[in-house]
Structure 1
Amino acid sequence: MQSPTYETLIYTRYAGYVEIRFNRPHRLNAVIEQFYTEFLDALETAEADSDTRAVMLTGEGRAFCVGADMKEHGAGERSQFQRRQYLQLGNDVCEAIFRLKKPVIAAINGYALGAGAEMACSCDFILMAESAKIGFPEVSIGTCVGGGVTQFLPRLVGLAKARELIFTGIKIDGTEAARIGLATRAVPDAALAEAAAEFVAKLVTKAPVSMQLVKKLLNNASYADLDAQLQHELDGVFMCTTTKDWQEGVDAFAEKRSPEFKGH
C-alpha cells in the first residue's frame, strides 16, 4: 500500500507501525485548518491499514507542535461559523487519536504547547526528550483549553496538578512530566528517536485485537462502575478466545517461543 502524501505532514510506514510527522517546521509545527484536515485523513488511513498496529506522532525540526498558528489566524478573515468549524476540527483530531483502535505514541522532541499538548494528552503514551517542554498557555492568552484536556489531564496527573498546569500555564520539561505521570518516560534528547522506535517495536509484537480491546477498556474505565467494567472485561476475554491469535498465544506459550500474531 502506497503512503499518502500531505503538505503539512509526513506519513511514513515502517514494519508494523506508521509515523505521522508534523511538517511545518518553519512555524514550529503550529496548526492550521489544513493540518487538521490532513491529520484526520492520516489517522483514518492508519486505522484502515491492517498492517499498521501502532501510530507514532512526532514533529519535524525543533518542536512537536506549539499550538495554533497565530500569524495565519491574524491574517485571515473568518466568520463566526468558520471559527467554530475550525475549533471543532481541533476537538475532532484529539477525539480521533483517543478513539483510534490502535495505540498512539507521542514522541515529543521540542515544545508541545496548546493544541500540541492537547494532542499529546489524547495519546496512549507520551515519550519526551528530557529538555522538551509541554504546557497549556491558553488561560494566559485569554482563551480556553480544548481537545478533552480537562478530562484527560486530571486522569494522568491528578486534579490538583492539572489545575496548576492549566491555571498557571507553566511549561515543564520531559523529566518533570515523567515524574508527575504526564509522560510515560523521558529520555536524553539525542536518544528520543531510537527510544521511541524501540518502544513502538515492542507494541507491534502484541495481539492487535487484544490491544484494541484493552485500549477501549482503559479509556472508558472512569465512566463505568465496577460491575459494568467487570462485564466489559469478561466480554473482552471471550472476544479474544474467538480469534486465531488467542490460539497462537496458547501454542507459543506451550512451545516456549514468541507468538506471531496476525490480527484475527
Structure 2
Amino acid sequence: MKVFQKASSRFYSTISVGLKENYGRIAFNRPEKYNCINIDTFQEIPLALRKLDEDESVKFVALTGEGKFYSAGNDINNFSYIYGSEDGTELSRQVIDNFVKAFIEFKKPLIAICNGPAIGISATTLTLCDAVWASEDAYFLTPFTKLAQGPEGCSSSTFPKIMGSSLASEMLLFNKQMSAQEAKDCGLVSRLISSENFEEQVNAMLEEIAELPPQAMVLGKSLVKNQAKVEHLLKTATAENYGLKERWESPECKDAVQAFFNRK
C-alpha cells in the first residue's frame, strides 16, 4: 500500500495535506487543541482545496482530523483577531466567507471522515461535502447561541433540508448534541463506521472509490449539486457571514465572549 506523499509544509502550519492512490487527503492538524480552527486554518483549508481541485492526478479528496477529534470548531482565541483592529470584524467575515465558499465551489467529490467529534463550523460544513463517514464515537454540536452568534457554513439552509426544521432548530438554536447514530438516522451522516479498526476500514473504502472513473464522478456531482443549488448556497453563505459580522459587533456577543474568557 502506498503511503501519503505530504505537500510542502511551507504552505501549511495547521493542516496536513497529502496524496495517496490518486486521491487527496486534508486533515485538521492541531490535535493538542482538538483541531480547533484558528485564523491560519481558515486560510489554509481553501488553499489546499483549490490546489487539489486543480491537480489532474487527484480524483477526489478526503477531509479528516488528526488525533481523536475531527475538529472542535472555531478557536475561541480568534476573537482577539476579530476585535483586535477597527476593521477586524470585516476582515474576519471575509476569511470565513472564503472558507465556506471553498467547500461550495470544490468541483471534485469531497468526503468528510469524522474520526471524532465535529463542533461548530466543522459540523456545519459537513453538509457541503458529498459524503460524510463517521466513527460510532463521534458526535456533532453547533453551540452558536452560547456565544450569541448565528448559524454559518450554510447550515441555516442545509440543516432544515437534511433533518427537518424542528431538529435543525434544536441544533442551531438550543445547542443539542447529536450522537453519531442520530446523525446517521437524520441524514447528516451517510455511513457509520465502527471505532475498532476505523482507519483500516476507511482506507479500504477510499481505495475502492479511487478505482472509479474521475470525470464520471465530477459529472455526477455537477448534476446532483446543479448550478442553481450552488448559487443558492453561495447566497446563503454571504447572508450568514454578514449576519455573523453584525453579531460580533453587537453588545450581546461582546458580553458573551467576555463572560467566556472570564470563566477560563
Q: List 4+ stretches of structure 1 deviating above 3 A.
A: 74-77, 221-224
Q: TM-score, normalised by structure 2?
A: 0.77
What is residue 7 of structure 1 aligned with on the other side? 13
SS of the aligned residue for 1:63 comes to coil
Q: Which amino acid aligns with 2:7?
A: S
Q: Residue by residue, what CA displacement relative to the aligned partner does 1:176-220 show, whole Å, maximum 9, x if unpaired?
A: 111111101111113332232233223222222222122122123
Q: Provide the C-alpha distance between the structure 2 equivalents of 1:163 and 1:220, rounded to a whole number of angstroms.
A: 27
Q: Provide the C-alpha distance between the structure 1 equivalents of 2:204 and 2:161, rounded to a whole number of angstroms.
A: 26
What pairs up with 1:1-264 in 2 under 5 angstroms?
3-5=7-9, 6-74=12-80, 77-220=83-226, 223=229
Q: TM-score, normalised by structure 1?
A: 0.77
Q: Which amino acid aligns with 1:3?
A: A
Greater shift, 135-144 or 76-85, is seen at 76-85
Q: Provide the C-alpha distance between the structure 1 equivalents of 2:229 and 2:75, rounded to a whole number of angstroms.
A: 35
Q: Provide the C-alpha distance between the structure 1 equivalents of 2:82 and 2:227, rounded to a whole number of angstroms.
A: 42
Q: Which has the higher contact order (CA 8 A, sep 6+)?
A: 2
Q: Which has the larger radius of gyration?
A: 1
> How far did 1:21 drift?
0.9
Greater shift, 184-193 or 124-133, is seen at 184-193
> How far did 1:223 drift?
4.8
SS of the aligned residue for 1:36 comes to helix
Contact 2:39 2:78 in 1 (8 A): no
Greater shift, 109-118 or 147-156, is seen at 147-156
Contact 2:6 2:17 in 1 (8 A): no
What is residue 242 of structure 2 aligned with on the other side? none
Structure 1 regions of 5+ residues with no counterpart?
225-264
> How far did 1:141 drift?
2.5
Q: Which amino acid aligns with 1:206?
A: L
- Say if 1:95 and 1:199 are closer, same or farther in 2 by CA, change over 3 A: farther
Contact 2:14 2:30 in 1 (8 A): yes
**Paired residues, what number?**
224
Structure 2 regions of 5+ residues with no counterpart?
231-264
Q: Percent identity?
A: 25
- Say if 1:16 and 1:220 are closer, same or farther in 2 by CA, change over 3 A: same
Contact 2:26 2:63 in 1 (8 A): yes
SS of the aligned residue for 2:124 comes to helix
